[in-house]
A = this chain, B = another copy of it.
């Protein structure tokens, strides 16, 4: 991991951009991190495109830092400045055609869109986790928060260093990954925007039901796809405070 820039935000959070091989990413550590014990870490998932997502990511990172958590994210394959994938672009075009025609997004499109992304990005997140945990200012435990929900599910299944996950149910997901969710056993906090018309609500409810975790909470709110209320973020922070401290 090579740091390429560093700035101190006004609330004392240290923001560092880095590259890990070809993959760009951002690491945020609380102002108090170097002085005190190593901080627990929250991996911030997102739908791809670090520049576009930056305002929302930095807001979530600052919210987490206020509770003493470090936060980090990496670019997804095929997004932002990373090389595009012809197959992924084609799946995305088919998705948009279906949406414009007012058709439901069928399982075959969701599978072409999500499965290769999960296959490629999950090893990258795990390699990034190796690098984050090698830093003296980062300790464990580790949580995963955000989309792409398929990435969160796969990470929760294969990565034993992830202790808890906050997932957004509402992005596209092939049915095969609902089955995979039965293998998840870590504590989960699942957010669902109830009135998001682009979202398959029944799939989200089936997914929540499938998770094998003994502690799982589904919190459904109003406000559309990007209108997750502030108090839902606060509840998410408290979820991590219970499980990562």
By a beta-carbon cutoff of 8 Å, the part of chain A in contact with chain B is 194, 205, 208-209, 213-222, 229, 231-232, 234-235, 238-239, 242
Contacts and interface: CB of A to CB of B under 8 A. Distances in A.
A95 B162 CA distance: 45
Contacts of A216: 194, 221-222
A194 B218 CA distance: 9
B222 A209 contact: no
B234 A238 contact: yes
Given A218-B219, A219-B220, A231-B238, 17 more contacts: A194-B208, A194-B209, A205-B205, A215-B229, A216-B221, A217-B219, A217-B220, A217-B221, A217-B222, A217-B229, A217-B232, A218-B218, A218-B220, A219-B219, A220-B220, A231-B239, A235-B235
Interface core residue of A208, A234, A235 (most chain B CB under 10 Å): A235
A222 B231 contact: no
B231 A242 contact: yes
28 contacts: A194-B208, A194-B209, A194-B216, A194-B218, A208-B220, A213-B222, A214-B222, A215-B222, A215-B229, A216-B221, A216-B222, A217-B219, A217-B220, A217-B221, A217-B222, A217-B229, A217-B232, A218-B218, A218-B219, A218-B220, A219-B219, A219-B220, A220-B220, A231-B238, A231-B239, A231-B242, A234-B238, A235-B235
Contacts of A239: 231
Copies of the polypeptide in the assembly:
2
For chain A, what secondary structure do more than half of its interface residues adopt (helix, strand, loop), or is it mixed? mixed
A239 to B, nearest CB: 8
A217 B195 CA distance: 11
Contacts of A213: 222
Contacts of A231: 238-239, 242
A216 B110 CA distance: 29
A231 B194 CA distance: 22
A242 B219 CA distance: 17
Nearest to A214: B222
A105 to B, nearest CB: 21
